[in-house]
Structure 1
Amino acid sequence: MSLRAIPDSMDPTVVGSIDRELDRVELDHRVSIRLAIESGSRAWGFPSPDSDYDCRFVYVATLETYLSPWRTRDVVETPLTDLLDVNGWDLAKALRLLVQGNAVLIEWLMSPIVYRGDPLFRDRLRALADEVADRDRVARHYLHLGAKQWELFERTGSLKKVFYALRPAMALHWLRERPGAAVAPMHLPTLLRQCELPAELSAAVTELTDLKSRTREMGSGSAPAPISAFIAAEFACAEEIFVKSRVQDLTRARAITAEFFRSEALAG
């Protein structure tokens, strides 16, 4: 049984194009796509009427590819169109970045929109992420991502950038409330539901999200005060709480991920 979770709000014609593109990738590149999800604003929970589609996938190549001395690219990129952005990572690349603290694979694993995938593979990979992801490094990833977007907002006034800063800030808040966790939801409404937040902040986020869902171009303006204060406070707090640099022994994490990779590569 393959995973499939597509909201009714998504254009079935575009979804069909994505399905065909994924089929073509498997055929042309001789890979097995183990998980394909939506990673953009639609999956984050704040799409605009004209939001494009950002499909990301994790694939496993043939055993022949992995045993060859001639290295191949560990990324598959398809031609970018006005509406579609479809590309993916080899499982080995995804695992290396996970161990290094990159939160992108975690985001993909937590996406509520799934085009296709092996449910057992996703469950095993989620469990692996829970075991090896370093919460300090993951948090610093969110901090860097969010601070960069907030800086762009302050420079341009683009209200769209507020969302790109708010979601990492909310993920940081979620992590702070759960000291033992490293894998936060990617979906902004889920983060809102699972966090203890002031009523005025939740109301401001809901209002701004509703505006984005109705507006093709939000334009420029000032961020609502509760949102601005929340973002600034979370980034400042994260800077203090989540350790920036420390010596880390990755031997165990590398061994665990290597065993996972070997089992999936041998499975074909």
Structure 2
Amino acid sequence: MRTIPDSLDPRAVAGIDARLALVEREHGVRIPWAIESGSRAWGFPSPDSDYDCRFLYVRASDDYLSLWPARDVIETPLDRVFDVNGWDLAKAVKLIAKGNAAALEWLRSPIVYAGDPAFRDRLLGLADEIVARELIERHYLHVGRQQLGSGTSLKRFFYALRPAAALRWLADHPESALPPMDLPTLIAESSVGPDIADAVAELIAAKAVTRELGDAARPAALVRFTEQELDRAGRRDAVLDGPERGARWDEVRARADAWFLDELRAGSRTTR
């Protein structure tokens, strides 16, 4: 599977392809999923946005039996154009079980460099079984709060606005725990009024011609929207228990273990 929009520089895409191939060769891993994250996939790139490729990788089954396991992150050199790194599948599964939405977003990115859709669907299926919706809300609440207070740049405000929009989407879709990844879809599929939708569209258009670190006026309506959604989620979060308590957490860990072992066995069969 490969989904590359025309807006991406073909030279940058070729550079990412080369880095992914090098990771597989040098580290002896298999990469079943590689996507774009960051502002390009979130729907609000700037003229100087870098390329934030993220990938999931799987080691040979025996590697997971070592007394001295390898790091669960693989990073490639960071520069002005490329930010390419990935997580071991074991790390991703553990974080998903705890309600970390990052890996789930990677599985729903609109920009895919290379991927096995069957693998993606299996991991999303696991998430549907084990992820506690309240923990996804907590993830976006914490990210939104952190970004809202981290500076005055337009970039930072977008990084708070998107979690706030995800929280509104979750409130409007009680049947789902997995919101879309990109900001325009979050807004289009939620109950925000036309004033908020228009303000978001205008701000995205402004960011498209503003350097990443540039400042711009934050529309008062969007500031209020962001603060209100974070406040509402904060009130709900205050009454939640921790993610690792009780019988349900034991069930989640057991199901995640079983899924991971099945995935390793299936990968071993396909690589023989």
Q: TM-score range by the shorter chain?
A: over 0.9
In the other structure, the counterpart of 2:208 is 213
Cα distance in structure 1, aligned partners of 2:58 and 2:25: 13
Cα distance in structure 2, aligned partners of 1:180 and 1:59: 30
**Amino acid paired to 2:49:** S
Superposed, which structure 2 residues align to 1:143-158 within 5 Å? 143-153=141-151, 157-158=152-153
Query: Which string of whole-angstrom CA distances, capped at 9 and with x for unpartnered residues, describes residues 1-47 of structure 1?
Result: xx101110000001001001000100110000010011110000000
In the other structure, the counterpart of 1:264 is 263
Cα distance in structure 2, aligned partners of 1:48 and 1:244: 37
CA 1:38–1:126 in structure 2 vs 1: closer, same or farther (change >3 Å)?
same
- 1:140–1:244 Cα contact (<8 Å) kept: no
Q: 1:100, CA displacement in angstroms?
A: 1.3
Per mean C-alpha deviation after superposition, the further-off stretch among 240-249 and 11-20 is 240-249
In the other structure, the counterpart of 1:15 is 13
Superposed, which structure 2 residues align to 1:65-144 within 5 Å? 65-144=63-142
- 1:111–1:186 Cα contact (<8 Å) kept: yes
Structure 2-normalised TM-score?
0.93
Per mean C-alpha deviation after superposition, the further-off stretch among 99-108 and 42-51 is 99-108
In the other structure, the counterpart of 2:241 is 245
In the other structure, the counterpart of 2:223 is 228
Cα distance in structure 2, aligned partners of 1:218 and 1:31: 36
Deviation above 6 Å: which 4+ runs of structure 1?
none
- Note the residue ranges of structure 1 that are not aligned, 5 or more in a row: none
Q: CA RMSD in A?
A: 1.3
Cα distance in structure 2, aligned partners of 1:183 and 1:264: 22
Query: Which string of whole-angstrom CA distances, capped at 9 and with x for unpartnered residues, describes residues 203-257 of structure 1?
Result: 0000010011122256324310110110011011001123443434312211221
Identical pairs, percent:
51
User: Size of the alignment, in residue pairs?
Assistant: 263
Cα distance in structure 2, aligned partners of 1:74 and 1:218: 31
Correspondent of 1:57 among 55, 58, 63: 55
- 2:47–2:212 Cα contact (<8 Å) kept: no
- 2:92–2:103 Cα contact (<8 Å) kept: yes
Cα distance in structure 1, aligned partners of 2:155 and 2:7: 20
- 2:168–2:229 Cα contact (<8 Å) kept: yes
Correspondent of 1:46 among 44, 47, 61: 44
